[in-house]
Chains A and B, each alone.
Chain A
Amino acid sequence: MSMHTSRYPGYDVLRKRDTPSWDEPTRKVIKERLATPSDPRFLDAVQWRALEALCACIVPQPIDRPRVPLAGMIDMRLHANAGDGFRYARLPPLREAWRIGLAALDEESKGRHELPFASIEPAAQNALLKHMQHGELASGAWQGMDPQLFFTHRVLPDICGAYYSHPLAWNDIGFGGPANPRGYVRMYYDRRDPWEAVEAKPGKERQALKENRRVR
């Protein structure tokens, strides 16, 4: 879990939903994303548990706000079988890669700790993922898929890409979010339009909080 306090306290991009920064197609798309189910459509219960634990490691979400339903977003994508438009020839297709990868993660965990990935301590989870990242896993459960490639080309882009497509994550980084038709006017250094997030400068957090509540 992340202990960082937001650089943009009180900023909520959803307050702009009914302003000229959002159009109807965008409202519809974001509404669907906010309604992402938090139970699986595609994965089974065992795979789902592993995925939830994996997501919590890759993106340790702030504890002072609702969580982005990351596992649900990945599961929805697998359900739709929405590929990227390419894959490295050494990786199997999207669904197969995730099926193999989640099962192998549990097997690697059991081999070390006699427990599935979701049941081991966060420190042990992170250690295992570092092994995966550095190409140090070799269980037969990978069925010939390169664990390092799976980590760098499926785990990281799929999970992190999903996370930063969610308005809650936009709030954390002060992104302006949807911008049609209003767009922006002030393009110069250190300038913000009144409908953009206010960054909290040291010692000015309360002021930023107050101003961000008016941003819309």
Chain B
Amino acid sequence: MSGDPQHEPRGKNGRAPDVLRVGGWMPMREYPQNEAVDFAIVGTGAGGGTLACRLAEKGFKVIAFDAGAWWRPLEEFASDESHQKKLFWTDERLCDGEDPIKLGNNNSGKAVGGSMVHFAMVSLRFRPEWFKSRSILGYGADWPIDWREMWRYYRIVENALKISGPVTYPWGPKRGRYPYRAHELNAAAMVLARGAEEMGIAWSPTPLSTLSAPRGLAHPCAYRGFCVSGCSTNAKQSTLNVWIPRAVKAGAEIRDLAMVGRVAVNEAGLCTGVDYFREGRWQFQRAKHVVVAGYAIETPRLLLLSANGRFPEGLANSSGLVGKNFMVQSNQAVWGLMDEEIRAYKGPPSLAITEHWNYADKGKDFFGGYAYMSQGPLPVVWTLTQTKRGLWGEALLKEMQHYNHQVGLKMVGETLPQERNCITLADEKDAYGLPIARVTHAYCDNDRRLIEHALDFMGKALDAGGAKDIWRETDDTCHLNGSARMGSDPRTSVVNADGRSWDIPNLWICDGSVFPTVGGVNPSLTIQAIACRTADRIGVLAARGEL
């Protein structure tokens, strides 16, 4: 093991950490700064990490930058909620609007691998109709991509991560069995199943990106339950231990602890490279193409920070939509107590799911859908949930005594794109001297009706599952999407279906910010599928001489 990965870069001197071996290293190609690489990618999460891998495997010269550390899970991840905050993006951001969101834990990562390092591993496909939600379902915006194409890429990603899931998935077109078998259910998941059956709707073991059988050097999941604090066994299949090692083997360079502060553009209006801060100084990397993949806050922030005389409103922003249509997902829950001991801290937190209300359209007074899943909050997250309903003192301690009997159902709900929900630059500066992001968020009436429907239904399902003393957690969100949407019209979108900027042909975006709509499922699988598609499209365009 070497040094402090938060202060000393590891991707250096021709080598990179081999995260699958204790103290291991692997050779890594390095590119000179003054020689333009084919692609400089900003961010190594589900979008950037996956894209770096696929582009490198096609033979492109790629450097991917990440502001965070390159961790070795086997040696450096503690089984501890508080300590593992080191995986989160904890640089300051300002949150306002009618319904200001919380950031910093479940929805932001700062590490090589991005927030997939601490994601809950839930790996779901979009409902096919969502790719044409405007035309078919009457809300939101259409994607410029056909669902059948996306489903081919979903399959590729599911195989790359060896997703564990059921033989038959209850919703949507046939998809074949998942690569690895489903995990067994824990008691919290059984309550979801029991409630769903009582309510007459389908449920399923959740497709999860954690191994249910050995794979190479990685062991199957040991059900330790610290998934959202980072997996210290490598059972979780993520950018950090799947896509990035592949990328490095294929010749990509990853620069960790490298904060990109500006995309440089020349007189001709083309990107020339990126300014980044590493090892105490600002440096410049030349590149033929720049891909911004910082997720739905940092991506628009960087595009806005890169404003110059030629693009005074920020890069890729002729539509005025950079930073706009920012979408979270509603993440409200119902909680209750069981007579039985549940001990929901064991196993992955969301072992069972129902997508019933993603696929059923009747009986709704709102647009969009939601899934809900069983839950396994660890003590810190659980007490923060309790304090949100105002508990403290004796009342809090008394409630916390029921920890091992608590059970809950939590939604991942669709919110509609609204221009007023946006990322802008604040006056305040961060440690790099760059203006921090201001995140403005409010639900619309449709969002509220969807949430009310979900809370009502989940409450009944939890009751039917055998819980008592049921209460609602009414304030929580998850995931960040949509602040640089893709589309088929330059006036109403920031990038095209390939993630390519309408304004600057050698500037690309590859992360959740390109989503025109967000659906009622966790976005990571879709982000990776888009990254794989973007890589293939770049390959095709290059072959045609259209890059």
A residues lining the B interface (CB < 8 Å): 2, 4, 7, 22-26, 28-30, 33, 57-60, 82-90, 93, 126, 129, 133, 152, 156-157, 160-165, 169-170, 172-192, 196-197, 199
Check A165/B94 contact, CB under 8 A, given A59-B397, A60-B394, A184-B223. no
Once bound together, how far apart are the Cα atoms of A178 and B80, in whole Å? 7
Q: Are A29 and B401 in contact (CB under 8 A)?
A: no
A to B CB contacts below 8 Å, 6 in the list: A59-B397, A88-B95, A89-B438, A160-B383, A174-B403, A184-B222
Q: Are B380 and A85 in contact (CB under 8 A)?
A: no
Tell me the nearest residue of chain B to A89, going by C-beta: B96
Asked whether any CB of chain A lies closer than 8 Å to the CB of B200, the reply is: no
Q: Are A164 and B380 in contact (CB under 8 A)?
A: yes
Tell me the nearest residue of chain A to B187, going by C-beta: A189
Question: Given the complex, which residues of B lie within 8 Å of A28, measured CB to CB?
Answer: 78
Tell me the nearest residue of chain A to B405, going by C-beta: A199
Once bound together, how far apart are the Cα atoms of A177 and B82, in whole Å? 12
Interface-centre pick from A152, A160, A165 (highest chain B CB count, 10 A): A160
Min distance, Cβ A175 to any Cβ of chain B, angstroms: 5
Question: Given the complex, which residues of A lie within 8 Å of B77, measured CB to CB?
Answer: 25, 180
Question: Given the complex, which residues of B lie within 8 Å of A184, measured CB to CB?
Answer: 222-225, 346-347
User: Which listed residue, A57, A86, A187, A199, touches B347 by the CB 8 Å rule?
Assistant: A187
User: Which listed residue, A161, A170, A173, A183, touches B222 by the CB 8 Å rule?
Assistant: A183
Q: Are B404 and A199 in contact (CB under 8 A)?
A: yes
Question: Given the complex, which residues of B lie within 8 Å of A176, measured CB to CB?
Answer: 225, 343, 345-346
Once bound together, how far apart are the Cα atoms of A7 and B226, in whole Å? 24
Q: Are B397 and A85 in contact (CB under 8 A)?
A: no
Min distance, Cβ B77 to any Cβ of chain A, angstroms: 7
User: Which listed residue, A23, A133, A161, A187, touches B79 by the CB 8 Å rule?
Assistant: A23
Tell me the nearest residue of chain A to B225, going by C-beta: A179
Tell me the nearest residue of chain A to B226, going by C-beta: A179
Number of residue pairs A-B, CB distance < 8 angstroms: 199
Question: Given the complex, which residues of B lie within 8 Å of A133, measured CB to CB?
Answer: 390, 392
With an 8 Å Cβ cutoff, the count of chain B residues facing the other chain is 69
Check A189/B396 contact, CB under 8 A, given A23-B232, A164-B383. no
Check A192/B392 contact, CB under 8 A, given A60-B397, A172-B401, A180-B233. no
Q: Are A87 and B92 in contact (CB under 8 A)?
A: yes
Check A89/B341 contact, CB under 8 A, given A179-B225, A189-B190. no
Once bound together, how far apart are the Cα atoms of A187 and B400, in whole Å? 21
User: Which listed residue, B79, B223, B393, B400, touches A126 by the CB 8 Å rule?
Assistant: B393
User: Which listed residue, B91, B382, B401, touches A7 by the CB 8 Å rule?
Assistant: B401
Tell me the nearest residue of chain A to B342, going by C-beta: A189
Asked whether any CB of chain A lies closer than 8 Å to the CB of B103, the reply is: yes
Question: Given the complex, which residues of A lie within 8 Å of B233, measured CB to CB?
Answer: 180-181
Question: Given the complex, which residues of A lie within 8 Å of B392, measured CB to CB?
Answer: 57-59, 129, 133, 156, 160
Check A83/B90 contact, CB under 8 A, given A90-B96, A173-B403. yes
Question: Given the complex, which residues of B lie within 8 Å of A179, measured CB to CB?
Answer: 79, 222, 224-226
Question: Given the complex, which residues of B lie within 8 Å of A181, measured CB to CB?
Answer: 222, 224, 232-233
User: Which listed residue, B78, B221, B226, B383, touches A163 by the CB 8 Å rule?
Assistant: B383
Asked whether any CB of chain A lies closer than 8 Å to the CB of B75, the reply is: yes
User: Which listed residue, B78, B387, B394, touches A178 by the CB 8 Å rule?
Assistant: B78
User: Which listed residue, A23, A85, A192, touches B91 by the CB 8 Å rule?
Assistant: A85
Asked whether any CB of chain A lies closer than 8 Å to the CB of B185, the reply is: yes
Once bound together, how far apart are the Cα atoms of A196 and B379, in whole Å? 15
Interface-centre pick from B221, B347, B400 (highest chain A CB count, 10 A): B400
Asked whether any CB of chain A lies closer than 8 Å to the CB of B89, the reply is: yes
Question: Given the complex, which residues of B lie within 8 Å of A191, measured CB to CB?
Answer: 187, 341
Check A89/B80 contact, CB under 8 A, given A157-B384, A183-B224. no
Q: Are A180 and B79 in contact (CB under 8 A)?
A: yes
Q: Are A86 and B80 in contact (CB under 8 A)?
A: no
Question: Given the complex, which residues of B lie within 8 Å of A197, measured CB to CB?
Answer: 404
Q: Are A4 and B224 in contact (CB under 8 A)?
A: no
Q: Are B226 and A156 in contact (CB under 8 A)?
A: no
Tell me the nearest residue of chain A to B188, going by C-beta: A187
Min distance, Cβ B163 to any Cβ of chain A, angstroms: 20
Question: Given the complex, which residues of B lie within 8 Å of A30, measured CB to CB?
Answer: 78, 80
Min distance, Cβ A206 to any Cβ of chain B, angstroms: 19
Once bound together, how far apart are the Cα atoms of A102 and B104, in whole Å? 25
Once bound together, how far apart are the Cα atoms of A157 and B383, in whole Å? 8
Q: Are A58 and B393 in contact (CB under 8 A)?
A: yes
Check A175/B393 contact, CB under 8 A, given A82-B90, A86-B104. no
Min distance, Cβ B400 to any Cβ of chain A, angstroms: 5
Question: Given the complex, which residues of B lie within 8 Å of A23, measured CB to CB?
Answer: 78-79, 232
Q: Are B223 and A185 in contact (CB under 8 A)?
A: yes
Question: Given the complex, which residues of A lie within 8 Å of B222, measured CB to CB?
Answer: 179-184
Question: Given the complex, which residues of B lie within 8 Å of A33, measured CB to CB?
Answer: 82
Q: Are A2 and B394 in contact (CB under 8 A)?
A: yes
Asked whether any CB of chain A lies closer than 8 Å to the CB of B100, the reply is: yes
Q: Are B95 and A86 in contact (CB under 8 A)?
A: yes
Question: Given the complex, which residues of A lie within 8 Å of B82, measured CB to CB?
Answer: 33, 161-162, 165
Min distance, Cβ B92 to any Cβ of chain A, angstroms: 6
Q: Are B387 and A156 in contact (CB under 8 A)?
A: yes
Min distance, Cβ B338 to any Cβ of chain A, angstroms: 8
Q: Are B341 and A84 in contact (CB under 8 A)?
A: no
Question: Given the complex, which residues of B lie within 8 Å of A57, measured CB to CB?
Answer: 392-393
Question: Given the complex, which residues of A lie within 8 Å of B90, measured CB to CB?
Answer: 82-85
Check A85/B89 contact, CB under 8 A, given A4-B401, A187-B347. yes
Once bound together, how far apart are the Cα atoms of A182 and B82, in whole Å? 20
Question: Given the complex, which residues of B lie within 8 Å of A85, measured CB to CB?
Answer: 88-93, 103-105, 108
Min distance, Cβ A80 to any Cβ of chain B, angstroms: 11
Q: Are A165 and B379 in contact (CB under 8 A)?
A: yes
Min distance, Cβ B378 to any Cβ of chain A, angstroms: 7
Tell me the nearest residue of chain A to B396, going by C-beta: A160
Check A196/B224 contact, CB under 8 A, given A85-B108, A187-B185. no
Question: Given the complex, which residues of A lie within 8 Å of B108, measured CB to CB?
Answer: 85
Contact with A along B177-196 (1 / 0, CB 8 A): 00000001111001000000
Tell me the nearest residue of chain A to B438, going by C-beta: A89
Q: Are B390 and A161 in contact (CB under 8 A)?
A: no
Once bound together, how far apart are the Cα atoms of A22 and B77, in whole Å? 11
Q: Are A26 and B78 in contact (CB under 8 A)?
A: yes
Check A187/B187 contact, CB under 8 A, given A23-B232, A59-B396, A161-B383. yes
Asked whether any CB of chain A lies closer than 8 Å to the CB of B452, the reply is: no
Min distance, Cβ A184 to any Cβ of chain B, angstroms: 4
